[in-house]
A and B are shown apart, each in its own frame.
Chain A
Amino acid sequence: MTNERGQIIGGGLKDIIIREKNGENLELGELLIVENASQSDERNYTILQVKDIEYKSQAHQSTHELLSGMKLEGYDPDLEFMEPELTNYNLGRAKSLLYVQEKITGGEREYITKSPKRLPNFFSPIKSIEESDLKFLEPKNIENSIYLGDIRSGSTVEEGIKVYIDLIKSLTHHILIPATTGRGKSNLVKVMLWSILDTEGAGILVLDPHDEYYGDSIKIGLRYHPKKDEKLEYYSPDKDNDDAVTLAINVKKIRPYHFSGIGGFSSAQTEAIRTIYNKYKSNWITKIAKGIDRDVLKEMGVHEGTAEVLKRKIETKLGVYSVDIDEDNPAMGKKCIFNSNLFVGGDYGLSTVEDIVGALEDEKVVIIDSSKLSDFEELFIGSIITSNIFNKYKRYNSKELNNKPVISIVIEEAPRVLGQDAIESHGGNIYGTIAREGRKFKIGLIAITQLSSVIPRAILANMNTKIILGNEMSPERSAIINSASQDLSDDERIIASLDKGEAIVSSVFTRFAIPIYTPEFKKYVKEYLDEIPQDKTKDLKTMVIG
């Protein structure tokens, strides 16, 4: 066999021990192939992945130490390891990932993939994986899928083997992207969104706290996509941003439940808000801002002190407060002042939320630049839009829903809304609701986080696709591993050693946890745009689907 990297010399299914051929340098996470005995018209092979590598020697450790000491201390040892390649070597520990049967029937190549339940032959040679070994991943249907990256074997990227994941299934079943800073989260999301712009059947709401997805004249972003005009919308609260539609939401569109799990209101305050809303409907915020008459409060059963706190909170959170119409004549009444561009009154911004929801229903990617918003404002805007979508989709009957696109919300620093505290406070928030129930209504989350460990296990388990990037923090790796769709119990070291752009895709829709490398967005876009004149069809070679 050519390309021989080593030989199986022991272990079990989870821990196959391989003696590395001298100089072959197996890598952590590398994919390997071992051929099984098969009939002439059939090929059976097992895909292995290297989980650990260690030094081994036929000589005692004390002998190594002695030789090393002699060399280090300047003695002339006149000693060496004779046949060092036989004496000192590396042992790799690998796990069986997948058993593949390849058969040619009537000229057609057929593949059956199974979880490995038997061991490859003892002493079988192993070789590096090649493109031909992954042919079984070739999709029958390449429409509407999200490109994630190229297959990676250790640190070697197999650029010919592209990994896609089913658009509809993966988005409705939620996607979690856990990683520490600098491991390529934003790059991955940009690449995913770029490929989604080529698909049909999904609307994506992106809350972009770093204003990095849309791009500008210098920074490459989604605005360079050829379908930008028909598929992309960009909102910003910054009036001076000429590329963006100004994001302004009329306070009349705000409902008490939009604050759920986000606003930081106590139970008594939440109760008071509901009561006030019931009385004043869409004017409830301006009413609080102007101050409600003591007698009316009493009539509603709202404590005067509670109303005062609400007034203060409306001012600090939404920037809405009131002043006397005539300072010299307070009896004239009060008028509302809207301190921010985001939450406005009058007739302005009345249709913003509906416009965004409409765009999502039109299968667009809507980017909201939240870089200038406070943490609260960002989550609150998301909550308003998301609640609107959720309630709308919930009202559709099954036939109507069937014709609607799947909608997914990209949320950064997900624990802010999916963390234990956020989920448990005052009945939770809309994001938690979507995490639990969104699938039924074709709404999903793309949750990005550095801290998976603070997200409840039930929510993590609901995130059926995890694109795991590098993470140095052991508790975070454990949280991810414990909720992954595949058994990643011995992947700790692999996850810890993932370099920028390297990831593992663990999904209920993949047969095994697939190692990928996501290309640099800038390079990816350049190659994409360079290809357009020749062939508008994408190089969709491989899709991993359920």
Chain B
Amino acid sequence: MKSIKEIAEILSADLSERELGNPHFNSEYKSCPLNKKYFHEINFATKDRKIAFVDGGNQELLPSPVSSVQLNRVYFSIFKNNKRVPIKSGIPQRIEFLSYTSSQLKGDDINFETKIRPVKDKFSPYLPDERDLQANARKENVEAGTQVGMDRMASMARRFAEWKITGHVIESELEPGDIIVRDGSLQTGHQREYKYEEDVFRKAMDNDVIITGLSKTCRLATDTRVSLIDSIQRLADDTEIKYDKWCYYPVAWSKDTNREHKAVIMVVKLNKHAHTAFRFEIFKEQAETMSDKEICELVSCIADNSKDIKVPGYPYGLIDADLWARVKNEEMEGYKAKLYSELSRMGTWKQVNPLIKIVNTHEKLDGQ
């Protein structure tokens, strides 16, 4: 097809013409220009530490333009020397809860509110406070009324629950020197998330447990608009870095004024067979107290857990967490059937059904 060929040519020319540039961040970060000295070799870890991996997932059970019912799930697992560590404290390794997020118009403002209900009563202590699950569309900087906006607001409960579980794991399961690896960045996504994150950071400091985040995807770029991950990998190639596994840092430090993100950002290649490097973060206050050697040692522990052939170079604990936290489409049917039947029994179905249809038309067309 001619158009494809032409677009490919444009893309190819554009990418090859661009210089690598330097990491580009806003004023809330102190970024460091690319430098081959920032590559640090990762060797085998010398310390035996526990690593806890935390991930969450949510899916929409009942969509509508003004509300969303979601099934939320948070999971954690702990490994030491690549062996799974049994949970000793009785924290449920996986919690599930339903959430109902709705929007109300208040003057010119649109407010969101989320109600949550645990699937089992024993999950209650690990859920966020419903009072924290209220938000204003303007303050959250979301376009209310769009699916993206609703998805973002509906994800609050799951994100907060992830922090809650992380805090419990630190206090009840880990020991000084142990590591938490969260799926994704340490950056907060919501106004009130700060409170939960701060609580976890405090617990981490008190218990000397290191908080980190590893992102599967990274949209960061350099100031020449080249992918940050790609530019660092290319730098490794261009400067003939011979390390099988490396940790590139610092990429950037969040400034003290940055309330939403307290981290030192780095890029790591955790296995020689990894097909990509990943963005990796350490809670800034902890990273600041660590020497280069200590940071390398910490990353080595995670690299030792990143040998699984299924996804080389990605921590096995996060593969495991993703597997158990993800809400799969086939699981949704049972919940949907029960919810719809309950709504029908209550006589609410005839009001809800048209709302679902409004949102679902896309899906139906896609299925044709």
Question: Which chain A residues have a beta carbon within 8 Å of chain B's beta carbons?
Answer: 58-60, 63, 66-67, 77-83, 87
Contacts and interface: CB of A to CB of B under 8 A. Distances in A.
Interface of B: 82, 84, 244, 271-273, 305, 307-310, 312, 316, 320
A526 B274 CA distance: 66
Q: Which of B82, B307, B308 has the most CB of A within 10 A?
A: B308
Describe B's contact surface by its main secondary structure: loop
B307 A63 contact: no
B316 A79 contact: no
B273 A80 contact: no
A79 B84 contact: no
B310 A63 contact: yes
A19 to B, nearest CB: 17
Contacts of A60: 310
A59 B320 CA distance: 13
Contact of A82 (B244, B273, B316): B316
26 contacts: A58-B310, A59-B310, A63-B309, A66-B309, A77-B273, A77-B309, A78-B244, A78-B271, A78-B307, A79-B271, A79-B273, A79-B307, A79-B308, A79-B309, A79-B312, A80-B307, A80-B309, A81-B308, A81-B309, A81-B310, A82-B305, A82-B316, A83-B82, A83-B316, A83-B320, A87-B310
Nearest to B244: A78
Nearest to A80: B307
Contacts of A67: 309
B308 A80 contact: yes
Contacts of A59: 309-310
A82 B83 CA distance: 8
Contacts, number: 37
The 9 closest A-B pairs by CB, nearest first: A82-B316, A82-B308, A79-B309, A67-B309, A59-B310, A79-B307, A63-B309, A80-B307, A79-B312
A400 to B, nearest CB: 73
A65 to B, nearest CB: 11
Nearest to A79: B309
A63 to B, nearest CB: 5
A59 B323 CA distance: 13
Contacts of A58: 310
Nearest to B305: A82
Contacts of A77: 273, 309
Nearest to B272: A78
B368 to A, nearest CB: 31
A173 to B, nearest CB: 53
Nearest to A57: B310
B293 to A, nearest CB: 22
Given A77-B309, A81-B309, 5 more contacts: A78-B271, A80-B307, A80-B308, A83-B320, A87-B310
Contacts of A82: 82, 305, 307-308, 316
Nearest to B310: A59
A261 B309 CA distance: 69
B312 to A, nearest CB: 6
B108 to A, nearest CB: 52
A80 B312 CA distance: 9
Contacts of B316: 82-83
Contact of B84 (A63, A66, A83, A87): A83
A66 B320 CA distance: 21
A67 B308 CA distance: 10
A63 B307 CA distance: 13
Nearest to B245: A78
Contacts of A81: 308-310
Contacts of A80: 307-309
Nearest to A76: B272
Nearest to A75: B273
Contacts of B308: 79-82
A239 B57 CA distance: 92
Nearest to A87: B310
A59 B309 CA distance: 9
B24 to A, nearest CB: 33
Given A59-B310, A63-B310, A83-B84, A78 B273 contact: yes
Nearest to B82: A82
Nearest to B316: A82
Contacts of A79: 271, 273, 307-309, 312
Counting chain A CB atoms within 10 Å of each CB, the highest count among B272, B310, B316 belongs to B310
A521 to B, nearest CB: 52
Nearest to A66: B309
Contacts of B312: 79
A63 B271 CA distance: 16
Contacts of A83: 82, 84, 316, 320
A391 B81 CA distance: 82
A82 B317 CA distance: 9
Contacts of B272: 78
A81 B82 CA distance: 10
Contacts of B309: 59, 63, 66-67, 77, 79-81
A81 B309 CA distance: 6
B125 to A, nearest CB: 28
A63 B319 CA distance: 15
A59 B316 CA distance: 13
A510 to B, nearest CB: 43
A105 to B, nearest CB: 42
B68 to A, nearest CB: 32
Choose among B273, B307, B309 the residue with the greatest number of A CB atoms under 10 Å from its CB: B309
A79 B309 CA distance: 5
Contacts of A78: 244, 271-273, 307
Contacts of B84: 83
A58 B310 CA distance: 9
A106 B309 CA distance: 61
A7 B271 CA distance: 35
